[in-house]
Amino acid sequence: MKVIAIFLAIIVSGLSTFAASGGVKNITGAFIQLDGQLSQFTEEQWKSELSLMKDIGMDTVIIQYSAYGERFYYPSKYMKTDEISPDESIAELVWRGSTRTRFVKIVIEPTSKEWTMIPEITVKKGGEVLSVGRAYTVDPQANPSYPSDGKLTDGAADYAWGAMVGWQYPEKPIEIVIDLGELTAIDSIAVKFMRSEISGVQIPSKGYEVAISSDGKVFMSAGKVTWEENKQEKVNDTLGELLKAADSLDMNVFLGLSLNPSYWSGEFDPKEQINMNQRILTELFNLYGAHASLAGWYLPEEIDDRNFLTQSRKDGIRTYLKSMVTYAKFLTRKPVMISPYFGINPNGEAYAEWWDYVLSEAKVDIIAMQDGVGTRRTSVAESAGVIKALKPIMDKHGVRFWVNVEVFNQIHGWPVDAGSWQAVPADIERVVDQLQMQSPYTEKVVIFDFPHYMTPRLGGKAEELYKAYKEYTGLGD
């Protein structure tokens, strides 16, 4: 009945849209933001994740960025090796020792601006995990939005708010006591912490203390572990592992270049960014140019309709785009993609005029326009209106025009509220509405993003969205 209702809604609301262009399109690509667990994926894990995408008709992957500030997702000669916890990642701090115990107490002194978030604690003896499924207590209690309810010992450590236990502004040290069930030998304890500067989440800078007990009442100190003891020099070749998987699945990958985090604060120096990204592009092409799946390049600056209105800013972004496109074509002969956005109460005609000016010199190959629906900046109808207004300009300049559909629903952060930015997977009804109203004006539909909001690997609402979309399309049956 649910599927029938969805199709009825499509028929009723979509007649005018079908008439506008070539009909409603399915999702055929997705952005991937490399963070947390994803940055540690092996080729086989990527093959599993990309296969899930391919099963529902996706043939294109866009990596949001290969480098974010000082965080690199490949072995780059430009990276610093003393970074303990890169932004937008999960950091693991490991205590090592040799002892026998039944109860393990971990004491953490929070030093975060707002949140302390922990997805998993793992107690081991050699390669054997002793803590999976074991009961534990926490004091103080976690925030009701991110309760403990078994997540700390469930064996999973996804970079997703709903998969973590969180404490907001804790007023005293956090104590976690795990009951291993019986007296047993252990030799390591690994605690994973989330770091997300934009959401006010930092790792505890002082590390944590470990205590052990045979009865759960009297504890004896087993020492303290700090980040200095856990620095790692090795960098995973995340991009290389992903590209190998994409090669085997005959998929196309656009590699994002680097982004300076200060961009989100309005800082943008065209010359500086040209210099950095030309170096990054050269390095990436030298490392990965032989991969059959490497289809092109993505510039991660998300250009908007508010911050580039002055003539100097407009000329600056045009210079940047022109220089990067020219360089990429000369060096690699591969296309360049961008994914801009528009804000609240958008003016489609004015935005189209702005792009007409920029594209007159910056010959970008692909523009995947963000629809702004998931972030609550615009409604589906408003977004479709802007996309419709932009299409003639894209046609005029020979730009391949895609839509970047947001398959999440923002629940905190501006413009929803004053809290830290958070989002959950969207409902299928809204996603269908987005496809119905926006895709007829574009060549291709991609989404942001698959591994965080649509993969069945995460379970919950992400898996629900995946299954509902699969049912809607009839793919994979």
**What is the tens place of the pLDDT at every residue in 379-434?**
999 999 999 999 999 999 999 999 999 999 998 887 888 777 789 999 999 999 99
**How far apart are alpha carbons 101 and 187 in whole angstroms?**
10
- Give me the residue label for tokens 């490991």: 94
Give me the residue label for tokens 């007409």. Answer: 356
- Which has the minimum average pLDDT: 22-26, 317-321, 394-398? 22-26
pLDDT at 11 exceeding the cut of 50: no
Distance CA 91, CA 111 (A): 15
Q: Confirm whether pTM is higher than 0.85.
A: no
Say what the pLDDT of residue 82 is: 53
How many Å apart are CA 241 and CA 247, to the nearest integer?
A: 10
- Residue 127's pLDDT is what? 83
Q: Which tokens belong to 173? A: 């040290």
353-370 pLDDT, tens digit each: 999 999 999 999 999 999
- Residue 465 has a pLDDT of 97
- Kindly report the length of the chain: 477
Q: What is the pLDDT of residue 415?
A: 81
pLDDT at 455: 96
**133-181 per-position pLDDT tens digit:** 999 999 999 999 999 989 999 998 878 888 899 999 998 999 999 999 9
pLDDT digits (tens, 9 = 90+) for 177-222: 999 999 999 999 999 999 988 888 999 999 999 999 999 999 999 9
Identify the three-state secondary structure at position 143: coil
- What does the pLDDT read at residue 418? 78
Please write the tens of the pLDDT for every residue from 64-102. 999 988 889 999 988 765 556 677 788 889 998 888 999
> Looking at the predicted structure, is the pLDDT value of residue 4 above 60?
no
86 vs 3, more confident: 86
Q: How many CB atoms lie within 10 A of CB 420?
A: 17
d(CA 344, CA 414): 11
Q: What whole-number distance in Å separates Cα of residue 346 and Cα of residue 173?
A: 47
Q: What is the pLDDT of residue 77?
A: 87
pLDDT (0 to 100) of residue 160:
81
The CB density around residue 244, as the number of other CB atoms within 10 Å, is 18
The residue to which tokens 């022109």 are assigned:
322
SS3 call for 165: strand
At residue 84, the pLDDT reads 65
**Could you tell me if 241 and 47 are in contact, meaning their C-beta atoms sit under 8 angstroms apart?**
no
- What is the structure's pLDDT at 238? 94
**Ramachandran assignment for 376, one of left (phi > 0), alpha (psi -120 to 50 degrees), beta (any other):** left
Query: What are the tens digits of pLDDT across the range 229-285?
Result: 665 445 679 999 999 999 999 999 999 999 998 898 889 999 999 999 999 999 999
Indicate if the pLDDT at residue 2 is higher than 70: no
Q: Is 330 exposed, middle or buried (0-12, 13-18, 19+ CB in 10 A)?
A: exposed
Nearest to 262 by CA among 49, 475, 465, 68: 68
Question: Which are the contacts of 161, defined by CB distance < 8 A and separation ≥ 6?
Answer: 117, 146, 422
Q: CB 221: neighbour CB atoms within 10 A?
A: 11
Tell me the sheet residues that pair with 374: none
Distance in angstroms (rounded) separating the CA atoms of residues 91 and 240: 21
Provide DSSP, 175-236. Answer: EEEEEEEEEEEEEEEEEEEEEBGGGTB---TT-EEEEEESSSSS-EEEEEE-GGGG------
DSSP state of 467: H
β-bridge mates for residue 271, sequence order: none
User: Are 189 and 121 contacting, i.e. CB atoms less than 8 angstroms apart?
Assistant: yes
Return the CA Rg of the chain. 24
Close Cβ partners of 353 (under 8 Å, ≥ 6 residues apart): none
Cα distances (angstroms) measured from residue 217 to each of 39, 121, 142, 179: 39, 21, 22, 12
* pLDDT band with cut points at 50, 70 and 90 for residue 19: very low
| Range in 45-49, 51-55, 415-419, 425-429 with the lowest mean pLDDT | 415-419
What's the pLDDT at 470? 96
Neighbours of 265 (CB within 10 A): 8
How, if at all, do strands 174-195 and 120-125 pair? antiparallel
